[in-house]
Structure 1
């Protein structure tokens, strides 16, 4: 790299003007998508992370254009967003290899766009071949020098933040939990088991608190320990706003149905949103409970805040989880079973709600009380639903009930 390349105005005027023709808004979208696909696919639904990533890309692109167009030297560039993103990556415990991969892929996308603009401008202005090649080389050298400086500084920020977190006991425990959740994980050595301080050989119930941060979850556990007589708990951040909690009972006593019900009632009384697994035993049970609450949370997300109860257990939606493993076949089943009753409009939705309640409660009177309707209104709705269905509501009753539950999930999604 020659010193002259890094001086202001190293590129010819036509090449500097070509760099200003780059559409930074469109390029931002391309770089963000490339970074997510290559390095951060698991964070795609994390709004805070994506916003930080976009802000970092925007700041890098604007600074890089200043450098390539000759309006700033690399040493003059002052950034904040890439370093904030590096700290967030450390907090989320994303590996440094993901950071390196994102910079490699992101700057490759940037180079492609700038080189395309330069070549297009050279062709349009009939620039001599040697001059256009020299300009392309100089632009590439500038971009690589910028990438080297920024990536090195960001890596240092990530390392400092990660080191600070690594020194905390909770961060080490979090790393152990992440290890346990991997399907190919090896058994923990005795020293790690002491640090984990949780009986892995017990019977576990997993609770996901999607709207409760780690600090608030620990306070909530004080109440759960007293009311549900739980001694051993394991807390792990699910993301920036949610928390995973494992609650252990001795394997001999286990989690019987009444105890799980009492836990659910306690969570309802606390007014928190929670997804609860079935009881599972041992290390495999820790993983199984995690998979179950993750599946429950996906159903909850599809229903939306207004459609799902505050506390939702795996048995409540296990049918939906099973059948939604093949969404296309689920949609086909609903269309076949419901016909016009499956229409995506308010009238059909009210009729489906009434039929579902009628099946659940078994009488027009109880259904009317539950839906806050007159009994005659319930009768009329059920009659209309049968007309749209094209058969009596008592015919293929099981299939109808399953289709109604699936329709609720599919319509919400």
Structure 2
């Protein structure tokens, strides 16, 4: 389609050749960006995929799936292949497995493709109108493009429906499915006998637990990534001196884990926090909790820490391990990001600017308040000379229009937000002219 001259033996028209080249050029340049935006929109439009925990677990795989589909469409167009030669991407198969493991129905998968087609169409059609003109010659090409997308989605959905069915049949018979189902019931608040649930999980629920969320930073990893994550979780906990954890996959690149801990878990928590995991692995840790309720609460806290780490990933390099006990205040402050933005910009005034050097002023101001207004302690924490801290504090005060004094809680909180999340809370910030010493 857009290339059906092959079937008829006719030469492609000039408009058709131009249209195909324009689409290939677009997909060459923007497949990654388009795929990521499609994934975000699909999570918004499909209710079953919009829940925060589901989105957090599946959006990397959704994005990889969308990008790979766009690249496959580009391959068909660039090589003038009939759509029947489409190859379903590995990322799409991996996403289907994740849907099965999260008990998301095949109907949701099919809706994802129908909605995705509707999201993609205006972008492709609009690009053709811009590059080829909106004359009558283009109407036939737009019709062929629509047919190509319809046929591609039909082929993909047919093959992936079979993949879904085979995996679901295998999954429901597995011990992993029993564990996953039991964990899902616990997290949903279903009334369960702790002893029965403990037997199903192979994990004692009456004790104390620390929950972990492990996530690969590279969603395009091999299909075996779930097993890799389980092994990574066990290696992480063993290295910290803990017992074997309960590990449950939550997506192709995400796993949830729980560790049984004693009455004094601080040493284990510290060891987990100080662990240096592989470079493509991010780890979030919840606070210890007791019994089934603690199983749930520690997990919720680990999810909050993981979500904050995702927000912080747009800033400078962040530690690969995020522990809720160290970021609890930030998770609360950032829970409503639009309001957090307004609060931070209002409190920081011109210190919220993005001119060169202002970021360093914010970091110094925060360290100064964190250390009770001591220039010497802030300098030691930042590895700066005391005079440098003194100069930066004075410049920060000029931008604030007020003195930096310990006890100014609102200002202190705003600085915590701005330093941790940076442009996430400072976008559209007022300009400021300042240079760090």
TM-score, structure 1 normalization = 0.71
Q: 1:378 and 1:162, CA in 2 relative to 1: closer, same or farther beyond 3 A?
A: same
Aligned partner of residue 81 in structure 1, secondary structure = coil
2: CA distance between counterparts of 1:19 and 1:36? 35
Who is 1:81 aligned against?
A: 88
For residue 317 of structure 1, the aligned residue among 323, 327, 330 is 327
Residue by residue, what CA displacement relative to the aligned partner does 1:235-280 show, whole Å, maximum 9, x if unpaired?
123443443221224xxxx64xxx3431232124431353221222
Listed as ranges, the matches of 1:30-179 within 5 Å are: 32=38, 37-39=44-46, 42=55, 46-56=59-69, 59=72, 77-81=84-88, 85-92=92-99, 93=101, 95=104, 96-106=106-116, 124=136, 150-179=156-185
1: CA distance between counterparts of 2:136 and 2:418? 57
Who is 2:383 aligned against?
A: 372
Who is 1:344 aligned against?
A: 354
For residue 235 of structure 1, the aligned residue among 242, 247, 254 is 247
**1:20 offset after TM fit, Å?**
9.4
1:381 aligns with 2:380: no
1:214 aligns with 2:225: no
**1:198 offset after TM fit, Å?**
1.6
Q: 1:188 and 1:358, CA in 2 relative to 1: closer, same or farther beyond 3 A?
A: same
Aligned partner of residue 237 in structure 1, secondary structure = strand
**1:395 offset after TM fit, Å?**
6.7
Who is 1:182 aligned against?
A: 188
Who is 2:202 aligned against?
A: 197
Who is 1:5 aligned against?
A: none
For structure 1, the residue ranges without an aligned partner over 5 or more in a row are 1-7, 118-122
1: CA distance between counterparts of 2:61 and 2:150? 29
**1:24 offset after TM fit, Å?**
5.1
Any conservation in 2 of the 1:91–1:165 contact (CA below 8 Å)? no
1: CA distance between counterparts of 2:397 and 2:192? 57
**1:380 offset after TM fit, Å?**
2.2
Q: 1:209 and 1:104, CA in 2 relative to 1: closer, same or farther beyond 3 A?
A: closer
Aligned partner of residue 210 in structure 1, secondary structure = strand
Any conservation in 2 of the 1:237–1:243 contact (CA below 8 Å)? yes
**1:54 offset after TM fit, Å?**
3.5
- Return 204-213 or 304-313, whichever deviates more: 304-313
- Return 83-92 or 102-111, whichever deviates more: 102-111
Residue by residue, what CA displacement relative to the aligned partner does 1:201-258 show, whole Å, maximum 9, x if unpaired?
332221223348221212233334xx35x4x732123443443221224xxxx64xxx
Any conservation in 1 of the 2:88–2:156 contact (CA below 8 Å)? no
Aligned partner of residue 258 in structure 2, secondary structure = strand
2: CA distance between counterparts of 1:143 and 1:412? 37
**1:405 offset after TM fit, Å?**
0.5
**1:378 offset after TM fit, Å?**
2.0
Aligned partner of residue 412 in structure 2, secondary structure = helix
2: CA distance between counterparts of 1:114 and 1:337? 44
1: CA distance between counterparts of 2:335 and 2:122? 39
For residue 308 of structure 2, the aligned residue among 285, 299, 303 is 299
2: CA distance between counterparts of 1:148 and 1:192? 42
Who is 2:417 aligned against?
A: 406
Aligned partner of residue 358 in structure 2, secondary structure = helix
1: CA distance between counterparts of 2:18 and 2:364? 61
**1:347 offset after TM fit, Å?**
2.1
Higher Rg: 1
